[in-house]
């Protein structure tokens, strides 16, 4: 794994954005995998800045998001569809028809999962951006006895709902389920960028990168991938012996 630790948030965001932009420059039709949560926001701001300042175009890329809450419409402020429009899609030249998120409002969520897997099959991801949950989740793949390879419906753990409650008016409003790309699909990405910030993630970062490979920590499966770039701030990396 290529692990890089940064003194500032700015440097981390800049580095992640530059990897994505190099990918698009090299292949204007690249398929990018996007993530949500608080960590990628600064990275998306950098992409927007480079789009305006340097004329980097996203016109021909295709994007896939990792996950979406079940039961939130795209215009709900906490849906990931809303998040992506707000932080990235509405601010760059990426046509709406080339962005993909699971639809957590689909009449049949099982059919929705199949539809998403089919699309992923047709558009292999070049670079997947990932954040890390406090319990080691990636996307919404929660620790479990077994993990599911493809897109599926997941029950969110209390720890995850607690962590995400800060975005809602109260914890009761945090959905209990989500649709997420599976770990199998995530690991199919040619390159994975894992970006993590904050002292509260230091233990899980160490466990994910250097602990045993176990479904108890879904991010530990990243150790089996041959091209993972890990971008950490000082606090998130403070428990690593590098």
User: Between 56 and 120, whose beta carbon lies closer to ligand GLP?
Assistant: 120
The answer to whether 137 is a known catalytic residue is yes
User: Between 56 and 218, whose beta carbon lies closer to ligand GLP?
Assistant: 218
Q: What are phi and psi of 30, to 5 degrees?
A: -60, 155
Q: Which of 51, 87, 137, 152 is catalytic?
A: 137
Q: Going by C-beta distance under 8 Å and a sequence separation of 6 or more, which residues neighbour residue 94?
A: 58, 59, 61, 63, 88
CB of 163 to ligand GLP, least distance (A): 7
Distance CA 46, CA 189 (A): 22
User: Between 67 and 126, whose beta carbon lies closer to ligand GLP?
Assistant: 67
The answer to whether 142 is a known catalytic residue is yes
CB of 143 to ligand GLP, least distance (A): 13
CB of 26 to ligand GLP, least distance (A): 26
Distance CA 140, CA 154 (A): 7
CB of 206 to ligand GLP, least distance (A): 16
Residue 156 contacts residue 72 (beta carbons within 8 Å): no
User: Between 67 and 112, whose beta carbon lies closer to ligand GLP?
Assistant: 67
Integer angstrom CA distances of residue 113 from 36, 87, 214, 224:
19, 25, 24, 25
Q: Which of 13, 67, 126, 233 is catalytic?
A: 67
Q: Which of 60, 85, 123, 135 is catalytic?
A: 135
Length of the chain: 242
Q: What are phi and psi of 107, to 5 degrees?
A: -60, -45
The answer to whether 158 is a known catalytic residue is no
Give the long-range contacts of residues 16-19, CB within 8 A, separation 24 or more.
Answer: 16/40, 16/43, 16/46, 16/129, 16/193, 16/195, 16/231, 17/43, 17/46, 17/47, 17/50, 19/127, 19/191, 19/193, 19/229
User: Between 56 and 101, whose beta carbon lies closer to ligand GLP?
Assistant: 101
Q: Could you list the residues that contact ligand GLP (CB under 6 A)?
A: 35-39, 66-67, 131-133, 139-140, 160, 164
Q: Which of 13, 14, 117, 142 is catalytic?
A: 142
CB of 188 to ligand GLP, least distance (A): 17
The answer to whether 67 is a known catalytic residue is yes
Catalytic positions, written as ranges? 67, 135, 137, 142
């Amino acid at each position: 794994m290529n692990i890089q630790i940064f003194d500032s948030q700015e440097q981390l965001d800049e580095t992640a954005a530059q990897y994505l932009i190099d990918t698009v420059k090299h292949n204007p039709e690249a398929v990018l995998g996007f993530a949500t949560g608080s960590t990628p926001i600064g990275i998306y701001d950098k992409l927007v800045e480079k789009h305006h300042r340097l004329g980097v175009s996203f016109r021909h890329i295709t994007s896939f998001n990792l996950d979406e809450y079940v039961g939130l419409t795209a215009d709900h402020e906490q849906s990931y569809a809303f998040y992506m429009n707000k932080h990235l899609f509405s601010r760059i030249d990426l046509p709406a028809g080339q962005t993909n998120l699971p639809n957590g409002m689909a009449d049949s969520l099982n059919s929705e999962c199949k539809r998403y897997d089919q699309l992923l099959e047709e558009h292999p991801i070049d670079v997947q951006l990932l954040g890390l949950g406090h319990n080691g989740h990636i996307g919404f793949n929660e620790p479990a006895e077994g993990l599911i390879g493809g897109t599926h419906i997941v029950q969110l753990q209390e720890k995850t709902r607690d962590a995400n409650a800060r975005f809602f008016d109260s914890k009761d409003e945090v959905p209990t389920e989500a649709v997420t790309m599976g770990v199998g699909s995530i690991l199919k990405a040619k390159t994975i960028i894992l970006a993590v910030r904050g002292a509260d993630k230091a233990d899980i970062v160490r466990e994910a990168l250097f602990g045993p490979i176990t479904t108890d920590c879904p991010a530990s499966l990243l150790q089996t991938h041959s091209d993972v770039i890990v971008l950490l701030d000082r606090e998130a990396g403070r428990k690593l012996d590098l």
